[in-house]
Amino acid sequence: MKKDYKYEIIWERDYNDGYGNCRAAVDSKNNVIVCGVDKEYRGLIIKYDKDGNLLWSDSTSLKLYFPSQGSLKKPFNVDKFLSKGFGSLLDVKVDSRDNIIAVGSFYDKSGKYCTAYLKKYSKDGSPIWEKTYAPFLYTQAPSLAVDKSDNIFVAGFGGRIFPPSVNGFVMKISKNDGSIIWNRKCWKMGKYTGYTSLTVFENDIFCAGFVAKDDYSLIISNFDKFGIEKNEKIFNLRIVPCKIFFDGNLFICGQFEDASYKHYLAKISRNFNIIWEKIGTEGWLYDLSLTKNGNIAVTGKINKNEYYAGLYDGWGNLLLDISLGKLVSNGNDMNDWMKGITNDSEDNLIIAGGAPIAKTIKARAGIFEEKKEKKIKFLDFIKKLFRIK
C-alpha cells in the first residue's frame, strides 16, 4: 500500500535588504540561520527564531565586486571553475555552543584576486573573530564543516589564470582565533582539481569535488584528523557535487551533465562504492539533508517558474515533489532558485534561496494528519463553564 506523503508551508520570510540566501542551519533551540549576499553585494547572515521572527542580521565588511569581462579572459576550463559565478557567504554552520560560523569568497575591485573569508559570531550576533585566507590568487571556499569538538574545516579550490592552474584544498581551522592548523592541497598533474563540498564524522574528513581536463569527473577524498589522505577515488561520472553528507554511508547531490544538466543523487559506501544513484529532472540539486526517519530532503533548481524541494526515501525513490511557490523574479534572475536545506529537531525543513530577495521557508513534509480544530458542543461548554453535572 502506497503511503500518502504530504507537505505544508509553516512560514515564509522575505528579507528585502538581501539579494539572495545560499545555505541554512539551525541551532539547539531550532532558531534558523541563513547566509548569502545583501543588496550591496556584501556577505549576509540572518537569524530568525523558530516562528520566523527576525532576531538579527549582519553584513560583512567585505564586498563582492564583479570583475570586468576583460579581467576574466581565461581558457575554457579555468573560466568554468574560476569565474565570477561565486561570491558572497556560501555556507553556514552552528557549533555546540550555538556560535555561528560562515564562509565565503570575495573578489577585490580589480578582479585579479579572490579570497576566502571566514567569520565566527556568538549566538546573539556579536562578532568573535573574522579571517581571510589566500592559498591561491583566486580562492573559492564553498563548503564548511564543524565537528563535535567545534573544530572548523573549510574546503574549496583555486588557482591562477596564467599559466592556468586549478587545485583543491581542505583546511582545519582553530575555533579560538581562526588560525590555520593544517592545510592540504589536492592536485593532479595536467588536470584541474577542486573540492566543492565536505563533511566531517568523528576523525574522518570527506571531500567531494571535480577532476577536469578536456572533461570533468567526480572525485571523493578521505582525510584523517591530521590531514593525511586515507583514500581517494575518481569516478567516471560527469558530476559536479554540491553537497556531501556522511551518516554511515556517503550521500551526494549535485548536477549530472549530459545533453543538459540533470538532478543527481547517490548513496556511496565509505569505501567509495556506489550503492545506488538517481539521475532525474532537468536542473540540478544544490543541497540535501537527512531526516530522522532516514528520508533524504533535497532542494535545487528545476526548469519551471517555481521553487523546488523534494523528499526521497533511503533507497533514492522519490516520495514527494514540494512546490514552494513562484519565483519572485518570474525567472528573470539566473540566481533565483533554492540553494540550501536543513532540518530542525522536529524534522521541519528549512529551505533558503531566492533572488533578488533573500527568501527563507519553513515547511514540513511526510506522513501526517492535517490539524483539525476541536469542536466543543455548546451544551457541554455551558455545563463546564457553570460546573453543571
Superfamily of domain 6-385: YVTN repeat-like/Quinoprotein amine dehydrogenase (2.130.10.10)
> Phi first, then psi: what are they for 74, rounded to 5°?
-140, 165
pLDDT at 369 over 90: no
Instruction: Quote the pLDDT of residue 70.
Output: 41
385 vs 10, which has greater pLDDT?
Answer: 10
What pLDDT does residue 69 have?
40
pLDDT above 80: residue 353: yes
Closest residue by Cα to residue 12 from 57, 58, 51: 51
Look at residue 308 in the predicted model and tell me its pLDDT.
96
Q: Are 185 and 151 in contact (CB under 8 A)?
A: no
Average pLDDT over residues 154-170: 88
- Looking at the DSSP bridge assignments, the partners of residue 313 are none
What pLDDT is recorded for position 172? 98
Q: Domain limits of the chain?
A: 6-385
User: Amino acid identity of 35?
Assistant: C
Judged by average pLDDT, the poorest of 82-96, 208-222, 345-359 is 82-96
Q: What is the mean pLDDT of residues 361-380?
A: 68
Listed in sequence order, the residues at least 6 apart from 221 whose beta carbon sits closer than 8 Å to its beta carbon are 170, 186, 195, 206, 207, 209, 229, 231, 232
Backbone torsions φ then ψ of 100, nearest 5 degrees: -115, 130
324-331 contacts at long range (C-beta below 8 A, 24 or more positions apart): 324/9, 324/351, 324/361, 324/363, 325/9, 325/12, 328/14, 328/354, 328/355, 328/356, 328/357, 328/359, 329/355, 329/356, 330/305, 331/305
* pLDDT on residue 41: 84
pLDDT at 68: 44
What distance in Å separates the CA atoms of residue 291 and residue 287, rounded to the nearest whole number?
13
387 falls in which pLDDT band (50, 70, 90)?
Answer: low
* Residue with cell string 538581501: 18
pLDDT, mean over the chain: 88
Highest mean pLDDT among 159-168, 348-357, 375-384: 348-357
Query: In this structure, is the dihedral angle defined by the CA atoms of residues 131, 135, 138 and 140, taken in order, positive or negative?
Result: negative
What grid cell was written down for 99? 556560535
Q: What is the pLDDT of residue 300?
A: 94
CA distances from residue 282 to 35, 154, 245, 303, 340 in whole angstroms, order as listed: 26, 30, 23, 6, 18
Grid cell of 205 as nine digits: 574528513
Q: Which residues 6+ apart lie within 8 Å of 152 measured at CB?
A: 93, 101, 118, 144, 145, 146, 172, 173, 174, 175, 178
More confident residue, 68 or 366: 366
The string of pLDDT tens digits covering residues 318-336 is 999 999 999 999 989 988 9
Mean pLDDT value of segment 118-145: 94
The per-residue pLDDT for range 180-234, each reduced to its tens digit, is: 999 999 988 888 899 999 999 999 999 999 998 878 899 999 999 999 999 999 9
Identify the pLDDT of residue 377: 54
What pLDDT, on the 0 to 100 scale, is given for residue 355?
94
7, amino acid identity: Y
pLDDT at 187: 84
**What's the pLDDT tens digit per position in 34-74?**
999 999 888 999 999 999 999 999 998 766 554 444 433 44
How distant is the alpha carbon of residue 263 from its chain centre?
A: 15
Which pLDDT score is estimated for 380? 62
Amino acid at 286: Y
Average pLDDT over residues 340-351: 97
Query: Over the stretch 246-290, which tens digit does the pLDDT of each residue have?
Result: 999 999 999 998 878 999 999 999 999 999 999 989 999 999 999
